[in-house]
Amino acid sequence: MISRRHFVQAAMATSALYGASGFGNWARLAAQQVLSQEDLIGSSDFGNVTLVHITDIHAQTQPIYFREPEFNIGVGAAEGQPPHIVGEAFRAAYGIEQGSAMDYALTYNDFTSLARSYGKMGGLDRIATVVNAIRGDRPDAIVLDGGDTWQGSLPSLRTRGQDMVDLFNALGVDAMTSHWEFTLGSDRVREIVEGPLNPAFLGANIFDVDWDEPVFDDYRMFERGGTSIAVIGQAFPYMPIANPSWMFPELSFGLRRERLVEVVEEVRAAGAEVVVLLSHNGFDVDRQFARDIPGLDVILTGHTHDALPEPVQVGNTFLIASGSHGKFVSRVDLDVRDGGLQGINHRLIPIFSDVITPDPTMAGLIAETRAPFEAEMSEVIGQSSSLLFRRGNFNGTWDDVICNALISQRDAQIALSPGFRWGAAVLPGQDITREDIFNVTAMTYPNAYRTEMTGETLKLIFEDVAENIFNPDPYYQQGGDMVRIGGMGYRIDIGQPMGSRITDMTLLETGEPVEADQTYVVAGWASVNEGTEGPPIWEVVENHIREQGTVEIQPNNSVDVVGG
C-alpha cells in the first residue's frame, strides 16, 4: 500500500509532468516576462472531487497590497515549523527564488520594490475568473469560504455585510464558517443566514448559552464524483473573549473537541467517505486538531492569515492554508475511491491582479456595491512617504500611524492599538485615501477611548495578550498579534511564563521607567467593553493624517524581542 505522503509526492510529480506547477517555475516564468493567467491557474484532471478554498478576505473586493509577516514566531512544537517561517527560511523551505513573483506574494523582503514590479494582488473579480476556470475543469467543484468575509472595508461596514453576502452568493460559494461576521451582531447574522445567504452557514462549535445546544448547522454533505463529502464548519473558538461578547450575548463558542469528534462519527455513519473541516481555528490549533481528532482528511485552515504553497501533513490529515485578503485561492483535488481518500493534489493560486483578467459580471456587481460610497472613499486625506502595513507579531507601520494619531488627537502619553491581522498596505509615495484608512479600521466597535491606567495594569494587559499568542499549548492561543503600542517601549522574552515575559517598560517621552503604581494617560480603540466612549478611530486617524500632510514612519525599535 502506498502511504499518504507518497501519494502527495506522486501527485506533485504528475502535475509537473503536465507542466502545471512546480514552484521553481514561477520564478522562471516571471523572469521571462511570460507569467500568464493559464500558468497561474493551471489545469488538472486529478481525482474526482475538487475543493476551492478562499478565506479571510476581510471584505476586500479590490486588488490590494498586503505584506506577509516579518515576525511570525512559533512556540512549543510549532517553533520553526510552517507557517512560522518567514523571509529567507520560507524561500528555502519551498524552493522560491528571491525576487520572484512567489517571493513577492509570500514573503516580506524588499516588498516595496517587488510590489512596484508585480502590482497589486487579489480582487474578487479576478477570483471569480479563477473559480470559473476551475469549474471549467470540474463543473461541480465545491467552493468553500473560511470566514472573516463580511468585515474589513467601508462598504461592508456601511451595508452591514450586505455587499459581501451578495458578492459571495454571486461567486457561487457552497458553505462558509465565521468569525468577524458576529461583530455585526448576532441579530444581523441571523437575519442574513435566514434571509439572503446562499452558502450553508456552518459552525459545529456555536452553541446557545442557555440551552447548551448547537445553533447553526454542523455540516453539509455533498454528493460529487460518485462519492460523499462532509464539510464540517468550525467557527473562531474564542469569539466572546477576543471580540465584544455583548454583541452576541446568547452565543457560546470554544474549541469543543469532544463535540467535533461526535460530528465526525455522525457524518461517517451517514456515509461520508471524505471529511473536510472548514475551520477558523487558526493554523496551530488546526494542526493540534489533526493530531487529536480522528477521521479528518482535510482541514481548510483560516484565521491566522497564513499562505502555504504546500499542504502540511499530520498523520493522515492534510492542512491547507490559503492566505488572506483575496491574495490566494487554493484548489484541492481529491482522489476518492474504495471508500476513502487515496490521493490529494493542491495548488495555491496567487491572484496577481495585473495577470488575471477580471470576470466582467463580477466586476459589474462589485462596482454596484461600491457606487454609493465611491466619492467618500476616493477622497485623498494625505500622502505616505513610508510603507504602511500591518501584519507581524509586534509592529506594523499602519499601527504606528494609528498610535501616533491617538497620542496627538487624544492628548495621551501612551496609545494601544489591537493586534489585528487584517488591513491592506499603502506603498511609499502613494496617496492615502479615506478607503485606505477604513481598510485598517472598519469595524463595529471603533470608539477611541481615553483613560488612565497604572503601570501595573499596562503590564497585566501586555502579559495577558502575550500569553494568548505565545502559549506553548496551541489550544490556549487566540491567533492575533501582539497589541501595538505607542509612547512606550518594552522588552519581551517569548519563552518565559506568563507574568515574566514583559520587562523594561519605558515611557518614551521621558525615557523614564514605567512605574507600577504611577498613573498614565492611555488612548486606544476596539475595546471589547460595552459603552466605550470616544470618536470612531477612522476620524482620529483622518484628522491626524490631514494635520501631517505626509505621513512618515521611522523604524520602530521600541519593542525588544528576546527568544524569537
Partner 1 sequence: MSMTRRTFTAASVAAAAAFFALPKTATAQEVQAAMDAFTGGAELGSDGITLIAPEIAENGNTVPIEVDAPGAEAIMVFAAGNPLPEVVTFNFGPAAGSQHATTRVRLAGEQEVIAIARKADGTFVSARQNVRVTIGGCGG
Binding mask 44-83 for partner 1 (x = CB under 8 A): ----------------------------------------
- Residues of this chain, 179-208, that bind partner 1 according to CB under 8 A: 179-180
For partner 1, which is the closer residue by CB, 262 or 552? 262
Q: Does 476 bind partner 1 (CB under 8 A)?
A: yes
Residue 170 sits in the site that holds partner 1 (CB under 8 A): no
Cell of 520: 498614565
CB nearer partner 1, residue 111 or residue 180: 180
Q: Which is nearer to partner 1, 44 or 245 (CB)?
A: 245
Handedness of CA 36, 39, 43, 49 (dihedral sign): negative
Binding of partner 1 at residue 468 (CB under 8 A)? yes
Counting contacts by CB under 8 A, is residue 495 touching partner 1?
A: no
Could you give the string, one character per residue 229-248, with x where binding to partner 1 holds by CB under 8 A and - elsewhere? -------x-x-xxxx-x---
Number of residues forming the site for partner 1 (CB under 8 A) = 40
CB of 240 to partner 1, least distance (A): 4
Near partner 1 by CB under 8 A: residue from 87, 480, 486, 534 = 480
Nearest to 437 by CA among 549, 538, 536, 552: 538
φ, ψ of residue 456 to 5 degrees: the values are -65, -45
Can you give the length of the chain in residues? 564
Q: Considering only residues 85, 96, 483, 537, which one is a binding residue for partner 1 as defined by CB under 8 A?
A: 483
When asked if residue 526 is in the footprint of partner 1 (CB under 8 A), the reply is: yes
Distances (CA, A) of 489 to 387, 413, 416, 513, 524: 22, 12, 12, 9, 16
Pick from 419, 446, 487, 534 the residue near partner 1 by CB under 8 A: 419
Positions in 327-366 near partner 1 (CB under 8 A): none
Chain centroid to Cα 487, Å, comes to 28
- The reply on whether position 461 binds partner 1 by CB under 8 A is yes
432 scored as a contact of partner 1 (CB under 8 A): no
* 516 lies in the binding site for partner 1 (CB under 8 A): no
Query: Residue 343 forms beta bridges with which residues?
Result: 335
- Rule CB under 8 A: say whether 520 interacts with partner 1: no
If binding is defined by CB under 8 A, does position 254 make contact with partner 1? yes
Grid coordinates representing 448? 477611541
Task: Please tell me whether residue 475 binds partner 1 under the rule CB under 8 A.
Answer: yes
Of the residues 465, 488, 537, 559, which one makes contact with partner 1 according to CB under 8 A: 465
Kindly tell me which of 244 and 350 has the beta carbon lying closer to partner 1. 244
Residues 6+ apart with CB under 8 A from 457: none
- Residue selected from 16, 170, 498, 521 as contacting partner 1 according to rule CB under 8 A: 498
Q: Is 93 in the site for partner 1 (CB under 8 A)?
A: no
Q: Closest by alpha carbon to 423, among 400, 396, 384, 394?
A: 396
Smallest separation (angstroms) from partner 1 to the CB of 485: 12
- In this structure, are residues 26 and 100 in contact, taking their beta carbons and an 8 Å threshold? yes
Q: What is the CA radius of gyration of the chain?
A: 23
Residue (218 or 481) nearer to partner 1, CB: 481
Residue with cell 514605567: 514
Judged by CB, which is closer to partner 1: 37, or 454? Answer: 454
Residue located via cell numbers 472595508: 153
CB of residue 261 vs partner 1: minimum separation in angstroms?
Answer: 11
Among 61, 156, 177, 252, binds partner 1 (CB under 8 A): 252
**Position of cell 454528493?**
223
Cβ contacts of 35-42, under 8 Å, gap ≥ 24:
35/101, 35/352, 35/355, 36/355, 37/129, 37/355, 37/356, 37/357, 40/130, 40/349, 40/350, 40/351, 40/352, 40/355, 40/356, 41/130, 41/133, 41/134, 41/349, 41/356, 42/15, 42/331, 42/347, 42/349
Q: Applying CB under 8 A, which of residues 226, 271, 497, 563 lies at the interface with partner 1?
A: 497
Regarding 292 and contact with partner 1 (CB under 8 A), the answer is no
Q: Binding residue for partner 1 (CB under 8 A) from 460, 508, 521, 561?
A: 460
Q: How far out from the chain centre does Cα 364 lie?
A: 26
Cell of 111: 516588498
| Stretch touching partner 1 by CB under 8 A, among 27-35, 61-69, 253-261, 447-455 | 253-261
Task: Report cis status (omega within 30 of 0) of the bond before 237.
Answer: no
Which residues are 95's β-sheet partners?
none
- Give me the sheet containing 484-486, strands edge to edge: 449-454, 519-524, 414-417, 484-486
Which residues of 235-373 form beta strands (DSSP E)?
Answer: 251-252, 274-279, 298-301, 312-314, 317-321, 328-337, 340-350
Position 442 contacts partner 1 (CB under 8 A)? no
- The Cα angle at residue 100 between residues 50 and 94, in degrees rounded to 5: 55
* 23 touches partner 1 (CB under 8 A): no
Q: Which of 194, 122, 192, 125 is closest to 156 using CA atoms? A: 192
Q: Which of these segments, 265-273, 377-385, 475-483, 551-559, binds partner 1 (CB under 8 A)?
A: 475-483
Binding region for partner 1 (CB under 8 A) out of 19-27, 219-227, 477-485, 546-554: 477-485
Instruction: Note the residues at the interface with partner 1 (CB under 8 A).
Output: 179-180, 212, 236, 238, 240-243, 245, 252-255, 258, 418-422, 460-461, 464-465, 467-468, 473, 475-476, 478-481, 483, 497-499, 526-528
